[in-house]
A and B are shown apart, each in its own frame.
Chain A
Amino acid sequence: MFDLDRWNEIWHALAKNKVRSLLTAFGVFWGIFMLIVMAGASNGLKNGIVEGVAKFATNSCFMWSQQTGEPYKGFKRGRQWNMESDDITYILNNVPEVEYISPKNFGSRMNGGPNTIHGLKSGAYNVKGDYPEYIKIDPYTILQGRWINDMDIRDKRKVCVIGEKVFEQMFDAKENPLGDYLKISGVYYQVIGVIRPETNININGRAEESIFLPFTTMQQTYNMGNMVHFLAVTAKKGTPVSVVEEKVKSIIKLRHSIAPTDVQALMSINIEEQFKQISGLFIAIGLLTWIVGIGTLMAGVIGVSNIMLVIVKERTKEIGVQRALGASPRTIITQIMLESVALTTIAGYTGLSMGVGLLELVSKIIDSQPKTGNEVFFRNPEVSITVAVAALIILVLAGLFAGSIPAKRALMIKPIEALREE
Chain B
Amino acid sequence: MISIQDLHKSYVTGNNSLHVLKGLNLEIKEGEFVSIMGSSGSGKSTLLNILGVLDDYDKGNYYLSGKRIWGLNETQAAITRNAMIGFIFQSFNLISFKNAMENVALPLYYQKVSRKKRNLIAMEYLDRLGLKDWAHHLPSELSGGQKQRVAIARALISNPKIILADEPTGALDSQTSLEVMDILKEVNDQGITVIIVTHEHDIAALTKKIIRLKDGVIGEIITNGDLQNYRNRLTQE
How far is A12 from B115 in the complex, measured between Cα atoms in Å? 12
Q: Residue A324 at the B interface, CB < 8 A?
A: yes
- On chain A, which size bracket covers the interface? 20 to 34
Q: Residue A329 at the B interface, CB < 8 A?
A: yes
Q: Residue B25 at the A interface, CB < 8 A?
A: no
Q: Residue B90 at the A interface, CB < 8 A?
A: yes
Instruction: Quote the shortest CB–CB distance from B222 to chain A (angstroms).
Output: 26
Interface contact B74-A328, CB-CB below 8 Å: yes
Q: Residue A317 at the B interface, CB < 8 A?
A: yes
Instruction: Quote the shortest CB–CB distance from B99 to chain A (angstroms).
Output: 10
Q: Residue B61 at the A interface, CB < 8 A?
A: no
Q: Residue A153 at the B interface, CB < 8 A?
A: no
Given A411-B74, A419-B93; A326-B98 close (CB under 8 Å): no
Interface contact A325-B114, CB-CB below 8 Å: no
How far is A69 from B91 in the complex, measured between Cα atoms in Å? 95
Given A324-B87, A329-B74; A415-B82 close (CB under 8 Å): no
Interface contact A325-B81, CB-CB below 8 Å: yes
Interface contact A13-B74, CB-CB below 8 Å: no
How far is A136 from B211 in the complex, measured between Cα atoms in Å? 105
Interface contact A419-B82, CB-CB below 8 Å: no
Q: Residue A16 at the B interface, CB < 8 A?
A: yes
- On chain B, which size bracket covers the interface? 20 to 34
Given A322-B106, A325-B106; A421-B79 close (CB under 8 Å): no
Q: Residue A379 at the B interface, CB < 8 A?
A: no
Interface contact A5-B115, CB-CB below 8 Å: yes
B residues near A327, Cβ cutoff 8 Å: 78, 82, 110
- The segment from B48-56, B63-71, B140-148, B180-188 found at the interface with A is B48-56
16 residue pairs bridging A and B, Cβ less than 8 Å apart: A5-B112, A8-B115, A9-B109, A16-B98, A321-B94, A322-B106, A324-B81, A326-B81, A326-B110, A327-B78, A327-B82, A327-B110, A328-B74, A330-B75, A415-B54, A421-B91
Q: 9 other contacts beyond A16-B97, A416-B54, A419-B54, with CB at 8 A cut-off?
A: A5-B115, A317-B93, A318-B95, A324-B52, A325-B110, A325-B158, A326-B78, A327-B110, A328-B79
10 A-B pairs with least C-beta separation: A326-B82, A16-B97, A328-B78, A329-B74, A321-B93, A325-B107, A326-B110, A416-B54, A328-B75, A326-B81
